[in-house]
Structure 1
Amino acid sequence: MSQIAIIEAFAELEDPRRRAGQRHALPLCLALFTVGYAAGNQGFLAIGDWISSYREQLIDLFKPPKNRLPSYSTVRRALLHINYEQYSLCLAKFFNVQPVPGETISKI
């Protein structure tokens, strides 16, 4: 898989999913969600459609194993179980955002 910055941003995030049946790395799922959401897609079905529509470009960009991208339901399941505070901290670090003392980091 590609070592682009958005993937690396989520590399240290704990993956709470069961190991059995995992085909896609959590950082890839989170990167696709984050980029898809930033592209204006709100909701898992919209992000799934976006992933399908830009499949070839996303494969070229992320270089996932076996040239497979996760479906919207895989991205959704990955997001349902992550620690949102850790996700927010990863995003803040990626975008170099320093919260001011007392500021609350938003939860999705």
Structure 2
Amino acid sequence: MRSDRQPFKYMLSLIEKLKQVKDFRKDQGKRHPLWIVLVVIILGTMLGYLSYRELGEFAKNNRHRLSQEFNIIPERVPSYSTIRRVMMGVKWQSLLKVFNEWALQEYGQRDDINWLYYI
């Protein structure tokens, strides 16, 4: 595996957890599985993109890398509107639960990041 792809190796277990979050959207018109939109939101937020528009720009500006890593057609990365609808409609308790489960599973045994226990 190339070293520049190494960070995405750890995303696989997070993706499996994110797939457990119930999708509140109607099937009609849905272009992206919920987990893809959530991954974009999480990655963008971790990199400092905090508003809906900033997250949309993050997705657009990184569409080739996102499409390469997550098998998305580059022209079809989640838009600002999709990100906004998901952030407004997702059950945050459910998302936090699976994220915290993932974080403890992946990193909970490390003493240097025990702050995860307090999230």
TM-score by length of 1: 0.80
- CA radius of gyration, larger in: 2
Match of 1:20 among 25, 28, 35: 28
Q: Name the residue aligned to 2:64.
A: 56
Amino acid at match of 2:58: W
Task: Figure out how many residues of one structure are paired with residues of the other and give that number.
Answer: 97
Where does structure 2 lack aligned partners over 5 or more consecutive residues? 1-10, 105-115
**Is residue 102 of structure 2 the alignment partner of residue 94 of structure 1?**
yes
Q: CA deviation at 1:4?
A: 2.3
**Is residue 45 of structure 2 the alignment partner of residue 42 of structure 1?**
no
Deviations 1:4-42 (A, max 9, x none): 233212111111111111111001111110111001111
Identity of aligned residues (%): 25
The structure with the greater share of residues assigned to helix is 2
Distance in 2 between residues matched to 1:9 and 1:35, nearest whole Å: 15
Distance in 1 between residues matched to 2:68 and 2:12, nearest whole Å: 12
Question: CA RMSD of the aligned region, Å?
Answer: 1.7
Deviations 1:44-65 (A, max 9, x none): 111111111111011111112x
